[in-house]
Amino acid sequence: VEPGEICGVVGANGCGKTTLVRALLGERDANGVGFGVAMGVTVGALEQTATSGSKLMVFEEATSRMTHVRDAEAAVERATRALAADEAGAAARLADARERYDAVGGATAEKRASSVLKGLGFSEAVMRARCDTLSGGWQMRVALARTLLSPAGDSREAGVKGGLLLLDEPSNHLDGDARAWLVNWIKSYAGTVVLVSHDEELLACVDRIVEVRGGKLGNFKGDYARFLKEREARRAQALSSLEKEGQKAAKLNEFITKFGAKATKASAAKSKAKALDKVQEKIEDLTELAGEGDLGEGPGDAKKVVLRLPNPPQGAREILIAKDLAVGYAAVGSTLVTDVNVTVTKGDRLLVIGPNGAGKSTFLKTIGGELPEMSGTVERGEGCVVGYFSQDLAQQLPAEVDALTHVLDVARKVDKSITMERARGVLGALGITGSAAVDRTIGSLSGGEKARVALAAFVLKPVNVLLLDEASNHLDGTAIEALCDGLRGWEGAVIAITHNPAFAAALNPTIV
């Protein structure tokens, strides 16, 4: 990765993108391959775990890693005290300390922190709230702000002396405004960025794309749109070459079969056999490169799988009825949405839209029974079951069991007929395959993998209405398509919040 470069990393769910980032950070074995960071470069990374345990206020947590500023402030204070005590050399130390303080922008540090938090959608009031009172999605925004304000993110140096940021799916919990702000922030950042993402808007600002596919890395100059065109051109070329190599292999096979047993032709047949081995190796490489389908499809990567949702239980046609509903938080006297009157019936598709803080998630939690109504009522139809999904479910997963065991355990509590093959199929459709499904504990999975495990367990429960709060976060194109296909033929109702344009369009909402 060149100094000052924005490098995008793409690939199917489960292909190894997060593992690659962990190897860069030294958290995973790189199989003997060394990674080096140039001298003087400060590295910062966005962790895939939220700040759920933090009891600090949002502003305090977001600025908790601004050690470069705090260290400079402390140096100024020490030198000032030394000067007051008339210590030898104190004046020179104070001058050096002030120069360092100015170099890290100490005087404007709070202003920069507020700007980052506002850009990510935090109001002044929420900045003063405790982190552990926020949803998992908002806590991930705090984690992102903390990374951007770290010594690496807040670095004013450019090139090889600047910071290096490793951002793993930074836009998963962002709405349109916050995502646009992040794109502009990355563009103006003087340091170097390695960006793992499925977000096309974010990937439009990169200088280079690295595709993780089939256990290998493919390198493409330019942004995501150029990557798609070049990859398609490479695929077409590979298909053409594959046909030619196939013809070569057929001729070599024919020669070996015809003359391999003749003593006079033994040497020639042996030579042809070696040539055939090389051709077959080339055919394998070309077959992988020519693989069709969604982003990242290839040997060792996620393939398209059908996601079949369980049929809704028998229940009334009118599933949810909201009358004069107001939602918010009574404990702090905050009413966010009022005068909601809506009837949700079998087969409805509702898309909930609105700016940050408008009350979308609060509305979903209220009609799902997670929060009490401020006023008005929410009635459920007779026999109707409501399923509520949010990213917070990923934080409630057991850490010591594997994904398949957990999904089966949850699903069989409501339907004992769920088979291991069915559970594997749902996990596979959402990109959890191979060792991630059965050999590794949930605690060892990435944040994105945990979110997909939670979604897999959720969609196996028979319900009449699905309440989906950013269910497409952490899903690649193949998994989003599988989820959309599953919902398309499902007879229950869906109420969704999403910032993913493809998911919103595929939902084909009857009410917005």
pLDDT digits (tens, 9 = 90+) for 156-195: 777 667 899 999 889 888 888 898 999 999 999 999 999 9
pLDDT tens profile 266-293: 677 778 778 878 877 777 666 666 654 4
Does residue 301 register a pLDDT over 50?
Answer: no
Does residue 302 register a pLDDT over 80?
Answer: no
90-99, 114-123, 254-263, 399-408: which range is least confident on average? Answer: 254-263
- Is it true that 6-214 and 318-507 share their CATH fold? yes
Closest CA to 468 of 361, 322, 329: 361
CB atoms within 10 A of CB 335: 14
The pLDDT value given to residue 270: 76
The pLDDT value given to residue 264: 62
The pLDDT value given to residue 44: 92
| More confident call, 409 vs 481 | 409
Give the sign of the dihedral formed by CA 35, CA 37, CA 39, CA 42.
negative
Computed over its alpha carbons, how large is the radius of gyration of the chain?
27
Give the phi and the psi of residue 423 in degrees, each rounded to 5. -65, -40
Could you tell me the pTM of the whole model?
A: 0.73
Enumerate the domain spans of the chain: 6-214, 226-289, 318-507
pLDDT tens profile 329-360: 877 678 889 999 999 999 999 999 887 778 88
Structure tokens at 512: 């917005």
Residues 203 and 182: their CA atoms lie apart, in Å, by 11
Does residue 507 register a pLDDT over 90?
Answer: no
The pLDDT value given to residue 127: 94
Confidence bin at 298 (pLDDT 50/70/90)? very low
The pLDDT value given to residue 69: 95
The pLDDT value given to residue 299: 34
Residues 371 and 364: their CA atoms lie apart, in Å, by 9
User: What is the arithmetic mean of pLDDT over 407-432?
Assistant: 87
The pLDDT value given to residue 291: 59
Helices (H) and strands (E) in the chain, counts: 18, 13
The pLDDT value given to residue 11: 84
Does residue 306 register a pLDDT over 80?
Answer: no
The pLDDT value given to residue 32: 53
Whole-number Cα distances in Å, 124 to 8, 121, 129, 176, 483: 33, 10, 9, 20, 37
Residues 243 and 225: their CA atoms lie apart, in Å, by 28
| More confident call, 245 vs 208 | 208
pLDDT tens profile 454-473: 888 888 889 999 999 888 87
The pLDDT value given to residue 312: 92
Helices marked H in 342-476 — which ranges? 360-367, 403-412, 420-429, 435-438, 447-459
What rounded mean pLDDT belongs to the chain?
85
| More confident call, 394 vs 97 | 97
Give the phi and the psi of residue 152 in degrees, each rounded to 5. -70, -45
Does residue 446 register a pLDDT over 70?
Answer: yes
Q: Which CATH superfamily is domain 6-214 in?
A: P-loop containing nucleotide triphosphate hydrolases (3.40.50.300)
pLDDT tens profile 30-50: 555 556 677 778 899 997 665
- Given a contact cutoff of 8 angstroms between Cβ atoms, the answer to whether 314 and 383 are in contact is yes
User: For the domain bounded by 318-507, which CATH number is listed?
Assistant: 3.40.50.300
Closest CA to 140 of 111, 116, 120: 120
Residues 391 and 387: their CA atoms lie apart, in Å, by 14
- Given a contact cutoff of 8 angstroms between Cβ atoms, the answer to whether 116 and 149 are in contact is yes
Residue length of the chain: 512
